[in-house]
Amino acid sequence: MASHRRPKQPSRARVTVLTTAAAAAVAISSQAAQAAPSEKPTKDEVKAKVDKLYEEAEAATEKYNGAKEKQEKLQKEISTIQDNVARGQEEVNELREGLGSMASAQYRSGGIDPSVQLFLSADPDDYLDKASTLDQLSSQQVDALEKIQDKQRVLAQDRAEASEKLGDLSATRDELGKKKDEVKSKLAEAQKLLNSLTAAEKAALQQEEQRASRDSADRVQLGDAPAGSGRTMSAYAAAQSVIGSPYVYGASGPSSFDCSGLTSWAYAQAGMQIPRTSQAQASFGTRIYSQSDLKVGDLVIFYGDLHHVGFYAGNGQVLHSPRTGAVVRYESINNMPFQFGVRI
């Protein structure tokens, strides 16, 4: 006879173990899904990230340029002060020798004047106050002592100024190194992103860049925009002469440029020195806030921190050195956040 016994039910402990195992399996599966690598970014997404890094690199480049310009200025000032100190010390030495000659003559004639002896044996800073009670001083000696005192005061001031500027120079060199490292870091990060693209995607981006440069030269028409002054147009013509030159951070010509390197180089060709950085150039002339009031050759400043500059080319176009990977070219003024123009 067949057995009619009811199948044995799993114990409560066994159910608990099975439930726990199932939950663990679900959790592991969920974690594995979360840990799965995200989809590879598209060419356009990579380009957007790279463009952002290039913009950040350019902002750092302008700060680098400012630190470099300050360093060069300080070095010139320190060199001038040190030359002045050297010449001043020579003059003091000559005056001391002259005073020593007086003392020698006095010694040969019967003894050294107490006032001269005092000067030769001690710091003369407070000498004249003490010497005012000494009748032995000749007018020639008084003149010599006053000249020495004046020279020593000037030398002390020059040395203090040189010391202060040397401190500024050291700090500026530190800042320069940090900004250079920041630029290199941004560019390296951008290059890493570009290296993640396939050969076909890289070729497509390169073709887009070349087409942008080629088309910009073909389509630019000055339209009805009035021309700037003679010197301004000479600078603008100089910038036009280097269309196609590559952007290189920190470069100011004649074969490669960053944005402010192009504008400062162009004005130098026109016989005028303007500041090196875009921020300094933004404050150099008269600001023009309406695009409709711009003249051909006016400088145009972009971004809130004023880290980009170019020339207004008319018809809503700018002539500039855009960024790493690009060349000096025309571009729409609306491709970047316009702040104002500067008329020099």
Active site residues: 259, 308, 320
Cα–Cα distance for residue pair 25/34, rounded to 1 Å = 14
- Give the sign of the dihedral formed by CA 54, CA 59, CA 63, CA 66: positive
The Cα 1–Cα 66 span in angstroms is 103
Residue with tokens 């910009």: 216
Give 240's Cβ-side CA count (13 Å radius): 13
Please report, to the nearest 10 degrees, the dihedral formed by the alpha carbons of residues 282, 260, 304, 226 taken in order: 60
Where helices occur in the chain by DSSP H, the ranges are: 12-35, 43-108, 114-121, 127-131, 139-195, 199-219, 230-240, 259-269, 278-281
**Spatial distance between the Cα atoms of 257 and 58, rounded to a whole number of angstroms:** 12
Q: What is Dmax (Cα atoms) for the chain?
A: 156
With contact defined as beta carbons under 8 Å apart, do 254 and 265 qualify? yes
Q: What angle do CA 199, 205, 211 make, to 5 degrees?
A: 135
Q: Is 3 helix (H, G, I), strand (E, B) or coil?
A: coil
Contacts of residue 55, Cβ cutoff 8 Å, sequence gap at least 6: 303, 323
Distances (CA, A) of 169 to 163, 165, 280, 318: 10, 6, 20, 36
Sign, Cα dihedral of 252, 258, 259, 260: negative
- Other Cβ atoms within 10 Å of 12 Cβ, number: 8
Between the CA atoms of 278, 282, 283 and 285, what dihedral angle is there, to the nearest 10 degrees? 120
Closest C-alpha among 169, 129, 124 to residue 150? 124
